[in-house]
């Protein structure tokens, strides 16, 4: 997967960008607040996903403009494609002259992975960030999973509201039985899919983390769920915990409470990891995700790395640069010397939302 040409108009502070990226390494450098992350974000938008910064579509166009446009010519295994994404109050995408029903249809056409310091939350925050990471990754490799996720969320909302109503109206208990059966069936699919993904992901992440730490540290990951599928079905487990759920008026067990445990040398990364270790972990997860995408789709996604080098020592930096050597990369930094040790590629200097030099 490679971008050959890129044009950006009125995307945040990027008024007009015209770029013929290098097929390999593209280093985007410049002072703070010049538009480096905006450039990474604009490229990311071509994947048809929402902004990785959690921005609403309306926040993406420049303050003084009523639209933003990102156009690119990119190559995947099949062919050369032209894509155009226009953002007004919402996103609209055109691929090879055909308007897409939804921008998410670009998923599977243009593949990208992004690392941003915001993803440290996967390691540092509570279980919901890790569930989100797994669910988003599974959606990418099997889009049908999104339907299962939505169905589970719908049934869970229904069950939780029923738990409140049963308090006043005990005749509703029969309905709870029916709902439990449906919720458990969907929940088991969810857990099975997540576990299967983690089995694919873990060896990649383990190797990358091992490389990042020059073989000095080991990483382990494990899906954590309270119920034991060997012992009993999820429905029986829900039944067993029903009393507690009725008291709390919410569903306290199930995949919406599950977690992924990340251990460095046997200690939980979230509690005991140093800043560099946590950053390495988050990075290994993201790079591992891109390896899974490659093994499923056969194509190396375009790799977007925002501010990845800070807090990494030179050994770790070198490992990252070496690991991503054979694909198209866009990497931002304030101080280009950390990346410029590298041969080849393009160095793109951004100031005030414009490219001031590209060599
Ligand atoms: N919708 C918008 N319209 C115009 N400007 C915007 C918009 N959204 C953000 N900006 C501006 O874009 C500027 C650059 O942001 P960006 O995050 O790309 O900086 P950066 O070069 O990555 O800086 P840093 O090195 O600090 O990460 C910010 O100063 C911000 O004010
Ligand atoms: Mg930035």
Q: pLDDT digits over 103-157, tens only? A: 999 988 999 999 999 999 999 999 999 999 999 999 988 889 999 999 999 999 9
The pLDDT tens digits of the residues spanning 272-298 come to 999 999 999 999 999 999 999 999 999
* pLDDT value at residue 223: 96
Q: In a mutational test of the pocket of ligand 1, which residue from 28, 29, 33, 45 has the highest number of ligand atoms less than 8 Å from its CB? A: 33
Domains and CATH numbers, the chain: 2-111+301-358 (3.40.50.300), 124-264 (1.20.1050.90)
pLDDT greater than 80 at residue 84? yes
Q: What is the C-alpha to C-alpha distance for residues 185 and 189, in angstroms, rounded to an integer?
A: 7
138's CB contacts (< 8 A; 6+ apart) are 145, 193, 194, 197
Ligand 1: atom nearest CA of 332 is 22
Specify the ligand 1 atom closest to the Cα of 40: 18
Kindly provide the b/e burial profile for residues 269-293, where b requires at least 16 CB atoms within 10 angstroms of the residue's own CB.
bbeebeeebbbbbbbbbbbbbbbbb
| Average pLDDT value for residue range 210-223 | 97
Whether the per-residue pLDDT at 338 is higher than 70: the answer is no
Condensed to tens digits (0 to 9), the pLDDT of residues 227-259 reads 888 888 999 999 999 999 999 999 999 999 999
Q: How far is the centre of ligand 1, averaged over its atoms, from the C-alpha of 5 (Å)? A: 23
Q: What is the mean pLDDT of residues 5-14?
A: 98
Does residue 168 surpass a pLDDT of 90? Answer: no
How is residue 176 written in tokens?
Answer: 């709870």
The answer on pLDDT for 342 being more than 70 is: no
User: What pLDDT is attached to residue 169?
Assistant: 86
- Distance between start and end Cα atoms, the chain: 22
Which of 269, 289, 290, 291 is closest to 280 using CA atoms?
Answer: 269
The ligand placed nearest to the CA atom of residue 38 is 1
Q: Using the atom order of ligand 1, give the atom closest to the CA of residue 31.
A: 25
- Cα separation, 71 vs 248, in Å, equals 51
Ligand 1: residue whose CA is nearest its atom 16: 35
Structure confidence at residue 341 as a pLDDT band (50, 70, 90): low
- Here the tokens at position 161 are 């509201």
Q: Give the DSSP per-residue string, 259-328.
A: EEEEEETTEEHHHH--HHHHHHHHHHHHHHHHHHHHHHHSSPPEEEESS-STT--HHHHHHHHHHTTTS-
Q: How far is CA 265 from the centre of its chain?
A: 25
**pTM of this prediction exceeds 0.75:** yes
CA of 45 to the centre of ligand 1 (A): 16
| Atom number of ligand 1 nearest to Cα 61 | 1
Q: Which atom of ligand 1 is nearest to the CA of 60?
A: 1
Cα(113)–Cα(247) distance, integer angstroms: 43
| pLDDT on residue 59 | 96
Instruction: Tally the C-alpha atoms within 13 A of residue 309's C-alpha that lie toward its C-beta.
Output: 19
* DSSP character string of 142-185: -TTHHHHHHHHHHHHHHHHHHHHHHTT-GGGHHHHHHHHHHHHH
Closest C-alpha to ligand 1, atom 18: 35
Average pLDDT over residues 188-209: 97
| Ligand 1 center from residue 276 Cα (angstroms) | 25
Q: What is the pLDDT of residue 58?
A: 94
Predicted local distance difference test score (pLDDT) of residue 107: 84
User: What is the pLDDT of the chain when averaged over all its residues?
Assistant: 94
* Average pLDDT value for residue range 160-172: 89
Residue 170 is predicted with a pLDDT of: 82
CB of 73 closer than 8 Å to CB of 82 = yes
The DSSP result for 21-34, as a single string, is: --SSEEEEE-STTS
Q: How far is the CA of 65 from the centre of ligand 1 (A)?
A: 15
Query: Is the per-residue pLDDT at 83 higher than 70?
Result: yes
- For the chain, percent of residues with pLDDT exceeding 70: 98
pLDDT score at 335: 76
Ligand 1: residues with CB < 6 A are 12-13, 30, 32-38, 59, 62-63, 334
Residue nearest to atom 11 of ligand 1 (CA): 13
Ligand 2 centroid to Cα of residue 28, in Å, is: 10
Q: Read off the tokens for 25.
A: 């390494």
């Amino acid at each position: 997967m490679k971008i050959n040409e890129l044009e950006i108009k009125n995307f945040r502070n990027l008024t007009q960008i015209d770029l013929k990226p290098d097929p390999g390494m593209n280093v985007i450098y410049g002072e703070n607040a010049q538009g480096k992350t905006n450039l990474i974000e604009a490229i990311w938008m071509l994947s048809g996903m929402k902004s990785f910064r959690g921005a609403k579509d309306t926040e993406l166009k420049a303050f003084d403009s009523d639209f933003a446009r990102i156009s690119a010519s990119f190559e995947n295994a099949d062919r050369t494609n032209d894509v155009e994404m226009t953002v007004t109050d919402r996103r609209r995408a055109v691929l090879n002259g055909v308007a897409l029903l939804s921008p998410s249809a670009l998923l599977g056409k243009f593949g990208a992975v992004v690392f941003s310091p915001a993803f440290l939350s996967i390691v540092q925050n509570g279980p919901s960030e890790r569930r989100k990471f797994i669910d988003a990754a599974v959606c990418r490799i099997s889009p049908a999973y999104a339907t299962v996720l939505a169905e589970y969320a719908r049934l869970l909302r229904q069950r939780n509201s029923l738990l409140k109503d049963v308090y006043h109206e005990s005749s509703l208990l029969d309905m709870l039985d029916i709902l439990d059966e449906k919720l458990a069936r969907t929940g088991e699919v969810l857990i099975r899919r997540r576990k299967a993904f983690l089995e694919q992901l873990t060896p990649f992440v383990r190797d990358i983390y091992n490389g990042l730490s020059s073989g000095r540290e080991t990483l382990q990951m494990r899906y954590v769920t309270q119920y034991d599928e060997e012992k009993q079905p999820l429905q029986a487990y829900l039944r067993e915990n029903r009393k507690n759920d009725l008291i709390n008026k919410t569903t306290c067990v199930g995949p919406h409470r599950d977690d992924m445990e990340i251990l460095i040398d046997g200690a939980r990364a979230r509690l005991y990891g140093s800043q560099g270790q946590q950053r390495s972990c988050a990075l290994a997860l993201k790079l591992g995700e891109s390896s899974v995408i490659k093994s499923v789709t056969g194509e190396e996604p375009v790799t977007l790395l925002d501010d990845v080098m800070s807090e990494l020592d030179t050994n770790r930096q070198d490992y990252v640069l070496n690991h991503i050597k054979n694909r198209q990369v866009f990497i931002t930094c304030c101080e280009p010397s950390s990346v410029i040790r590298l041969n080849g590629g393009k160095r793109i200097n951004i100031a005030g939302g414009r490219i001031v030099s590209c060599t």
